[in-house]
Amino acid sequence: MPLDDHISVAAPATVANLTVGFDCLGLALERPLERLELRRTTRPGVIIASIHGCDGLPMDPERNVSGRAAMSALEALGVDWGVELTIHKAVLPGSGIGSSAASAASAAFGVAALAGATLTSEQLLPLALDGEQVASGARHADNVAPALLGGLCLVTPEGQVDHLPAPDWHLTVVHPQTVIETARARSVLPTQVALGDALGQMARLGHFVHCCHTRDAQAAALALEDVLAEPHRIPLQPHFRGIRQAAMDAGATAGGISGSGPSSYWVSLSASTARAVGEAVSAAFTSHGMEHHVHVGRVAERGAHVLEN
């Protein structure tokens, strides 16, 4: 592949945990998409030219998710040039739909594409995780993997990524305009769980994976039940019980907290139901005077990708 002087890439928002798969399941969303412009420079290193769509993000590449991932990609490729980044944030920090993962994935993938290098997912993933670590302090890949690869991913404790057949779902993702820090959401989790709860969760996760392979979208949705993390995080989520009731009354099959929140995701088996769920949940948030964004779509087949001019 030829070396480019300028390239634009995008990476999708993601839903991690998927209720039944705490810290191991994640899927890519059709929207919103994070966009990143990369321009090759003769001087080695990374420069962040500007950031649009979000205030307060660091311009220092070492402290910026996109900057750190781009630096790692340049180092891995061993090139003698640098890159200038223009970041267009559409997936906002603290939203619970993979903001840092979208930034990290777009940067690692974008530098490789700029260089004309075809890196495998196994090669790209640790580079993107370097960026993710800047934001979260950890190297969890349940958001980063689907942001890079698209679709539905299961990440093993050893870091192996298994691409699962994505259920034929229509997703309604609702992002109230508030922030829940991942560290706070983790702080409310118990350090020990009952053996019966652990065994039940393990069985539901196994059943979910089976349903994905048998293409049973409804049964896969009904397997989305969590007794380990979500019950402890619900008190942090704004108006969650009322939002859940509104979604289910509108026809959602299942759903839950996206990542650590405050976003939630709701699974429907038709586009019309997903739209109705969006309208119902939007009305519920409006009744509380809370600003919010609603995204309706499918599981994105593509992860990070080059945008055509």
d(CA 306, CA 160): 25
Active-site residue identified among 132, 172, 230, 273:
132
Active-site residue identified among 14, 19, 172, 182:
182
What ranges in 5-155 are assigned the alpha helix state H?
65-77, 99-114, 121-136, 144-149
Instruction: Mention every residue, 6+ apart, whose C-beta is less than 8 A from residue 210.
Output: none
Q: Tell me whether strands 82-88 and 25-41 are parallel, antiparallel or unpaired.
A: antiparallel
Q: Tell me whether strands 6-16 and 45-52 are parallel, antiparallel or unpaired.
A: unpaired
Q: Provide the b/e sequence for 213-240 (b: ≥16 CB within 10 Å).
A: eeebbebbbbbbebbbbbebbeebbbbb
Type of residue found at 273:
T
Q: Is 132 a catalytic residue?
A: yes
Tokens coding 155: 């990440």
Residues catalogued as catalytic: 132, 182
